A and B are shown apart, each in its own frame.
Chain A
């Protein structure tokens, strides 16, 4: 049972949350007016707050490279045609009934196949439908907090900011392991191995399945060998967060390689899966949380416990997004179409990635931007400092997160040159590495 008695919580991006025990001893007639009086304003969310600032900005040349949502070559949101087709089908075929607590079984089945592969032993994988990746991490974290012997979870440094908040809310002790070497803008394998070795045995290790957010830096196969060696020795529990399958390389099978390797090797693992990016279903909140079990009996037990976590949180998941995914993946033609559409998003991003590096060279930057070329997924982790990012926003109306992360999906022909020039301006003569 988690405690809500903490007085101070320090979260990743240095906002301080205070909880205030406000007085309940007001006089009887004034009691009503005292109810909310002492509630302080909550700090704005780092990423979503910047997105809001972008919306409110009136400058004509403003550029949004902040939120990780795909944009087409005209800078517009893009609903996949296969998704639209699914919605048309659903207009006449779907009712509005409650889904079961664990979600749409047919959807979960398709989703787990998509992640774990055609030969996966689904009968011993406990899977529930969740509210996208956030919801999956929350359910998984609550599950670990209640049922797993270790309360330690280690997340990479850096990671998606919300990871810290989610697992803290679950009552877990959140630690970090070194991941990204800012002095080389590459994976810090030695630091990572050392931190995993130093963690208490049986800790939970959160790993990004592919296209690490925010760095875009993934371990190679050989680096995975070494990581898994240590994880095996320490009997750590792996918790994969998979938000970009299909979207990272354009090949859904390839993007799932790491997590399938772990599963095939028999490691116990959890998987949080999101369909926000690869299906473009951001606002419909569609995902899964799954736990690989020993056998069917164990799976049934875990399903019953997962349901006990879901029911008092939101009873059952929302069905629009899951029905779309199920409809697409149940139709051969739509499935083929979907894979092409997802690959096209990944292709455009990869093209823009290479062109950004080219453009930076063209405007005269002498920095080594090769890390951007090598990174994978939606983001470029530039290495720019917070001050440089602030200047980009204040002077150039380019909105990005203060860790130097750019969403490449936000780049297009119209703004690429402008962005390259601006980045060059703020980085020229300064370092894009740090210790």
Chain B
């Protein structure tokens, strides 16, 4: 089993601590805190994405900018709560609902609406009642439940694209799966590395799990075309692989949730028994509510339900049952046609503003005098621009210009505003010329 470095360091710390503690344990008679069981531990590394906020917050520079975490900001750089969400919350207040435990699998109405949102109401497996799932703690929670589920059912490894969202690695490693990578992005050309991706897919052992980003690949923003998805679907089928979709940006990528679900729906139509995790953090702006769903398409209804019963076995010793508020908000919106339309409009509004910023940033880079090719900024899709800046350039941008993005050069376009786009463009140009 190949362990990523973070796990090796954890193991090293543990064995060092254990060795020292074993010799200390009989030394002291008192229960004073000098015989603390924690005294040998070392500081763990900060999370590369979330830890950025901490560094940023410590910076005093008045014009500092953070384009790190994928959380949407309006054009004034402020967090945005969708008006339809606020309205849904008022509706819920007026209903005076209780706060009883929901089931281990969460709110059935929510799960039903969430699955229809992504699979489509007219999807054949949905009609045949063989798509079932659970409410999840947004994307991360769904991924972790899935990873543990599959590790308990004979899987040893999972393939993820290179690069992928950083947290995928520790999620699956902690689930007990070995994380393997398939080529995805060609940094030289700032484009999809399709030929090599297909080569790697053909080399995957039969029955392997393969994780696919449904749309708006994080961090690169490069998605396959529909023709490329077709080829992937055929090859994955031929290879006997198990496709698992991470869908965190439906509606948020192009502005059209149906379009953003195209890859998923194609695979389902092609007969794959897919599994999928959905997050409602970005499209509904419900980040802190931790609301998502984990689902499977079964060969028949009973099979899908059996898998869900096993998901519940993973959930119960993890957090028992999920939090209700986010599920209730999404349900209130999606079960009402007018609120649903409001949601679609507001979600599209967010996607539109981001696309406008992409164009603006590319223009400003040219204005700043950059001669580099920045086409990828407008070609990429979703919340992030994979700028191509290397680690040194990113650090220089932080230190010299107080512009904060993650070390891989990923810029959260949601953090770009008409007020700061000039400043950012100049900073990027300055470190990359």
Q: Is A333 an interface residue (CB 8 A)?
A: no
Determine how close the nearest CB of chain A comes to the CB of B178; give it in whole angstroms: 11
How far does the alpha carbon of A148 sit from the alpha carbon of B22 in the complex, in Å? 10
Beta-carbon nearest neighbor of A126 in chain B: B38
9-residue interface stretch from B40-48, B222-230, B254-262, B410-418: B40-48
9-residue interface stretch from B101-109, B333-341, B356-364, B375-383: B101-109
A36 touches B298 (CB 8 A): yes
How far does the alpha carbon of A44 sit from the alpha carbon of B195 in the complex, in Å? 47
Determine how close the nearest CB of chain A comes to the CB of B152; give it in whole angstroms: 5
Residues in B385-420 with C-beta less than 8 Å from chain A: none
For B372, the chain A residues whose CB sits under 8 A away are: none
9-residue interface stretch from A206-214, A263-271, A342-350, A425-433: A263-271
Determine how close the nearest CB of chain A comes to the CB of B172; give it in whole angstroms: 8
A312 touches B171 (CB 8 A): yes
B170 touches A312 (CB 8 A): yes
How far does the alpha carbon of A297 sit from the alpha carbon of B177 in the complex, in Å? 34
Chain A: interface secondary structure? loop
B37 touches A149 (CB 8 A): yes
B99 touches A283 (CB 8 A): yes
Residues in A245-281 with C-beta less than 8 Å from chain B: 265-268, 276, 280-281
For B272, the chain A residues whose CB sits under 8 A away are: 32
Q: Is B207 an interface residue (CB 8 A)?
A: yes
For B316, the chain A residues whose CB sits under 8 A away are: 45, 48, 134, 162, 165
9-residue interface stretch from B59-67, B114-122, B186-194, B319-327: B319-327
How far does the alpha carbon of A227 sit from the alpha carbon of B238 in the complex, in Å? 64
For B50, the chain A residues whose CB sits under 8 A away are: 100-101, 311, 315-316
B31 touches A311 (CB 8 A): no
How far does the alpha carbon of A201 sit from the alpha carbon of B39 in the complex, in Å? 18
Q: Is B161 an interface residue (CB 8 A)?
A: no
For A131, the chain B residues whose CB sits under 8 A away are: 137, 319-320, 323
With A24-B154, A42-B310, A162-B317: A266-B37 Cβ-Cβ less than 8 Å: no
For A4, the chain B residues whose CB sits under 8 A away are: 148, 151-152, 175-176
With A36-B303, A320-B325: A31-B151 Cβ-Cβ less than 8 Å: no
Task: Point out the residue from A36, A52, A96, A280 that lies within 8 Å of B306, measured CB to CB.
Answer: A36
Q: What's the tally of chain A residues with a CB closer than 8 Å to chain B?
A: 98
Task: Point out the residue from B14, B25, B53, B100 that lies within 8 Å of A202, measured CB to CB.
Answer: B25
Determine how close the nearest CB of chain A comes to the CB of B7; give it in whole angstroms: 7
Q: Is A138 an interface residue (CB 8 A)?
A: yes
- 1/0 per position for B172-185, CB-CB distance to A under 8 A? 01111000000000
Determine how close the nearest CB of chain B comes to the CB of A118; give it in whole angstroms: 20
Q: Is A59 an interface residue (CB 8 A)?
A: no
B101 touches A69 (CB 8 A): yes
B320 touches A134 (CB 8 A): yes
B323 touches A135 (CB 8 A): no
How far does the alpha carbon of A321 sit from the alpha carbon of B326 in the complex, in Å? 11
How far does the alpha carbon of A48 sit from the alpha carbon of B106 in the complex, in Å? 13
Determine how close the nearest CB of chain A comes to the CB of B156; give it in whole angstroms: 9
A67 touches B170 (CB 8 A): no
Interface, chain B (partner A; CB < 8 A): 3, 6-7, 10-11, 13-14, 17-18, 21-22, 25-26, 30-39, 41-47, 50, 53, 69, 71, 79, 81, 85-86, 89-90, 93, 96, 98-104, 137-141, 144, 148, 151-154, 167, 170-171, 173-176, 205-208, 237-242, 271-273, 281, 285-290, 296, 298-299, 303-307, 309-310, 312-313, 316-326
Interface, chain A (partner B; CB < 8 A): 1-4, 17, 19-29, 31-33, 35-37, 39-42, 45, 48, 52, 67, 69, 77-79, 83, 87-88, 91, 95-101, 131-132, 134-135, 138, 146-149, 162, 165-166, 168-169, 201-202, 232, 235, 237, 265-268, 276, 280-285, 291-294, 298, 300-302, 304-305, 307-308, 311-321
The 3 A-B pairs with the shortest beta carbon distances in the complex, nearest first, are A24-B207, A31-B240, A21-B154
The 21 sampled A-B contact pairs (Cβ below 8 Å) are A20-B153, A25-B206, A28-B237, A33-B273, A42-B306, A42-B312, A48-B103, A91-B93, A95-B79, A96-B288, A96-B289, A149-B37, A268-B36, A276-B101, A285-B322, A311-B167, A313-B140, A313-B318, A314-B137, A315-B138, A318-B289
